[in-house]
Amino acid sequence: MPETRPRLLLLDGHSLAYRAFFALPVDNFSTATGQNTNAVYGFTSMLVNVLRDEQPTHVAVAFDVSRQTFRLAEYSEYKAKRNKTPTEFSSQLPLIERVLTAFSIPFLKAEGYEADDIIATLVTQALADQTADMEVLILTGDRDSLQLVTERSTVLYPMRGVSDLARMTPTAVEEKYGVPPHRYPELAAIVGETSDNLPGVPGVGPGFAAKWISTYDGLDNVIAHADEITGKKGEALREHLGDVIRNRRLNALVTDLDLAMRPSEMALQPWNREAALELFDELEFRGELKTRTIETLAGEEPMEEGGFELEGRILGGGEITAFLEGLGDQVAGLHVRGSWAAGSGAVDGVGLATADGQAGYVDLAGLTPDDESALAAWLADTTRPKILHDAKGPELALAAHGWRLAGVVSDTALTAYLAQPDQRSYDLADLTLRYLRRELKGEGDTDQGALFDDGADVASTAMLYARAVVDLSTALEGELDRAGGSQLLTEVELPLVHLLASMEETGIAVDLDHLTSLEQHFGDEVRNAAEEAFAVIGKEINLGSPKQLQVVLFDELGMPKTKRTKTGYTTDADALQGLYVKTEHPFLLHLLRHRDVSRLRQTIEGLLKTVQPDGRIHTTFNQMIAATGRLSSTEPNLQNIPVRTEEGRRIREAFVVGKSVDGIGFECLMTADYSQIEMRIMAHLSEDKLLIEAFKSGQDFHSITASRVFDVAPDDVTTEMRAKIKAMNYGLAYGLSAFGLSQQLGIEPGEARGLMDEYFETFGGIRDYLGGVVEEARRTGFTETIMGRRRYLPDLTSDNRMRREMAERMALNAPIQGSAADLIKVAMLHTQRAIEEQGLRSRMLLQVHDELVFEVAQGEREALEAVVRERMGGAADLAVPLDVSVGTGASWHEAAH
């Protein structure tokens, strides 16, 4: 379709609102004043989606006025079986009209007629206008509109709830109903329409009706030849011809209404942003729908003309000092050209820009000693405010050049992450387009609107990026304030950038000989397990092939079928483990062993590839991956080193205390982690008195809680009792169901349900908290940690039950896991600050979930342990004490505790 061809979108407002009302639970959608909003929410969500996906140039919505139409006047039973319109629905129609007004979308009504008739008239007018050559889309849940489908008009029909739309083209209509679109009302006349209370011919379905219409070339000829149709169906047709003729008359849509607007007058207009957002606040529509609406409707706003205004120049020898002094105390955007990875980097050039249009580019190849000294001093000056995008990489590059970066007051990538933590990426060009409505080309593009005539596009691009960062930071401030993340940015995430860069630069030492030996060992174990598996079945197969395993397990060995998938019965780890428990078949024993040792060998192979010439592994820590705020580790992932099995722990033996550096010797590694941190956070958030007492008692937490639930003395708690309550303690924060608990403990679901009931009866505060956190998140659109980190969960209001239940589990988990993530970050910062204040030479190396790993300088073990216990233990003021466990040893494994 040519981009210039107009596209008219028509919506059946009443039909779609009614569908939304029943698709979304009314109890989950209401404002603090009691106004129901499920129909408004669902209608608005569908409207925004179709505007985004279909990109119409013209839009209008049609509404019914009442049931008093000409059809009812002719047939008093028309739609008579419909239930009385719920008042909870009726009260929302004026709100939908207010949404449309704020969106600048016209809506039409016609006394005595239905929305279908308005749409039919507009479609007829649009298709008749050959000059405009409009394409028409009709969004409706009423099948009568299928008669309007042509090569230029398509019905978008909601298949389920308000999410899935089917495109009913002429081909689609004929494939589904066996007749072309203009014949559909003829088929409906024969079959009848239950929703309109139009009875059809008994015993005649769409298939026979389509066959008659095709055989006799239309309903008129079917009626004319009714006497020729044999059998009981023919007899039924003749008995109900009057109903058929009436049905056809009533389901014919009116196409010549006198309406206040014509299609050409329905061009999409700019929305009233302020009115729309005020209405959203009134309706308490926050989070994802609000964001999606802004992105969609703002997308219709014109791009900013002129791009970025800069007075830029390439700074030659002797010019850098004067340029930097001229910036004064203005905030400067900084863009570093170069490369970086954990532990290494290189700088090619630096672009700088300010909000008033000053810009400069420094090419490191031409720096004089004075220039380099001036730039180094400016970069390290904490009083010279700087803004970067994803600052950790540039900081590593600068550090590799011997320069220190300080005075960073904002990081636009981190800001965007805190405002919208569920985005997949935080690319500068994407954010600039979204928030500034400006195009920012990639660094390899040459159509950047270069500032120079001599082809200096590299310098031009660097300055433009620096300026974009300044403007983007300003644009994101409001987003961050609305998301409640300003304090998190300034007090946690920004200071953490420098610490993580330092940890990446330092790395952790490894025993290369030990790793190589382990690789050989697990390679042998992989071969042994494969040979033993092959010996059981008498042939060799690819043990990594699900298809070959399915043949062996279910066809040849006749094992019980596992869960069915698109490619057959699943052979994942859980399924195979369950099969082994049931059958104890030796093939499964060797297959599971093969998988375990293969995974360990692959882990070691990945580690060996990343050992750098200094004998250390330098992982990369990611702040902007997990929506809960957890740090992740890549290249390699050191948070995924096995710890639960003895063989897995052998890998940790390869991480060792390093050699002396700059005259500083190191005596051991130290590990420190929080004991039962998530349950302590649960106690704090739920304010459950018994749970708080259990932690304050100083005794084994799981035994104490088990004694409460089973009403026995702590000394009488059995191993089985403790195991059950331990599973409950950790599982409930993750939305553990009775079925899940039964699977985990190997008990019947009924017993698991009873156990959960006893647990919640004992710890009523937990029950009330878990119930309340989901409802609060459904009302606000987000969950919140102790420090105010938000997780937006739009699927809490989804009409898809599975997605809604998954979001509910996330709502239970996010405040707990997110608070734990915040707390360990605060602990890292406080501990590092104390190390620096006390002049210790020991170094923080790793963060692995709730654990920190340090390299202890000679003679500093006691001092560092005191710092760690004090600063980690005091990272948050909770209702229960934070218990910190500390261990030391020559390796990561030995330092475990």
Query: For residue 577, which amino acid is it?
Result: Q
Q: Is the pLDDT of residue 220 over 80?
A: yes
Query: For residue 237, which amino acid is it?
Result: L
pLDDT of residue 456: 54
- Mean per-residue pLDDT, 677-681: 91
Least confident among 145-154, 758-767, 826-835? 758-767
SS3 191: helix
Query: For residue 432, which amino acid is it?
Result: T
Confidence bin at 454 (pLDDT 50/70/90): very low
Mean pLDDT estimate for the chain: 88
pLDDT of residue 535: 95
Confidence bin at 445 (pLDDT 50/70/90): very low
What percentage of the chain exceeds 70 in pLDDT? Answer: 95
Checking 228-235 for CB contacts under 8 A at 24+ apart, the result is 232/203, 233/201, 233/203, 233/204, 233/208
Least confident among 363-377, 392-406, 786-800? 786-800
Superfamily, domain 7-169+254-298: 5'-nuclease (3.40.50.1010)
pTM above 0.75, yes or no: no
Q: Give the up-direction half-sphere exposure of residue 836: CA atoms within 13 A in the CB hemisphere.
A: 8
pLDDT of residue 395: 95
Domain boundary assignment for the chain? 7-169+254-298, 311-474, 508-617, 678-816
Confidence bin at 261 (pLDDT 50/70/90): very high
pLDDT of residue 201: 87
What percentage of the chain exceeds 90 in pLDDT? Answer: 51
Regarding predicted confidence, which is higher, 437 or 720?
Answer: 720
Q: Is the pLDDT of residue 141 over 90?
A: no
pLDDT of residue 80: 64
Distance CA 193, CA 742 (A): 47
pLDDT single digits (tens) 548-593: 999 999 999 999 988 887 778 899 888 888 899 889 999 999 999 9
CATH of 508-617, one of 1.20.1060.10, 3.40.50.150, 3.40.366.10, 3.30.460.80: 1.20.1060.10
Confidence bin at 856 (pLDDT 50/70/90): very high
Regarding predicted confidence, which is higher, 136 or 710?
Answer: 136
Q: β-strand 198-199 against 192-193: which pairing, if any?
A: antiparallel
Q: Is the pLDDT of residue 801 over 70?
A: yes
Joined tokens for residue 234 = 């023919």
pLDDT of residue 451: 41
Name the maximum alpha-carbon separation found in the chain.
108
Cα distances (angstroms) measured from residue 305 to each of 293, 308, 309, 473: 23, 9, 10, 20
Distance CA 468, CA 665 (A): 45
Least confident among 110-124, 281-295, 670-684, 693-707? 281-295
pLDDT of residue 734: 67
pLDDT of residue 388: 97
Indicate the angle between helix axes 392-400 and 494-506, nearest 10 degrees: 50
Q: Is the pLDDT of residue 455 over 50?
A: no
Torsions phi, psi of 357, nearest 5? Answer: 100, -5
Query: For residue 99, which amino acid is it?
Result: V
Confidence bin at 615 (pLDDT 50/70/90): very high
What single string gives the DSSP state of each residue in 234-267? HHHHHHTHHHHHHHHHHSSPP-----S--GGG-B
pLDDT of residue 23: 86
Q: Is the pLDDT of residue 780 over 80?
A: yes
pLDDT of residue 367: 84
Whose structure tokens read 């024993």? Answer: 589
Q: Is the pLDDT of residue 305 over 60?
A: no
- Mean per-residue pLDDT, 751-761: 85
In this structure, whether the domain defined by 311-474 belongs to CATH 3.40.190.10 is answered with no
pLDDT of residue 287: 64
Task: Using only the alpha carbons of the chain, give its radius of gyration.
Answer: 34
Please tell me whether the peptide bond between 636 and the residue prior to it is cis, using omega within 30 degrees of 0: yes
In this structure, whether the domain defined by 678-816 belongs to CATH 1.10.150.20 is answered with yes
Residue 411's CB: how many other CB atoms inside 10 A? 26
Cα distances (angstroms) measured from residue 873 to each of 670, 789, 854, 878, 881: 16, 21, 17, 10, 8
Q: Where are the beta strands (DSSP E) in 571-719?
A: 616-617, 620-622, 632-634, 655-656, 666-674
Q: Where are the beta strands (DSSP E) in 102-220?
A: 107-108, 135-139, 153-160, 164-168, 192-193, 198-199
Q: Is the pLDDT of residue 301 over 70?
A: no
Regarding predicted confidence, which is higher, 268 or 30?
Answer: 268
Q: Is the pLDDT of residue 42 over 60?
A: yes
pLDDT of residue 450: 38
- Mean per-residue pLDDT, 784-813: 85
SS3 886: strand
- Of the candidates 407, 361, 484, 470, which has an alpha carbon nearest to the alpha carbon of residue 789? 484
Q: Is the pLDDT of residue 765 over 60?
A: yes
- Of the candidates 298, 296, 304, which has an alpha carbon nearest to the alpha carbon of residue 437? 304
Residue 270's CB: how many other CB atoms inside 10 A? 12
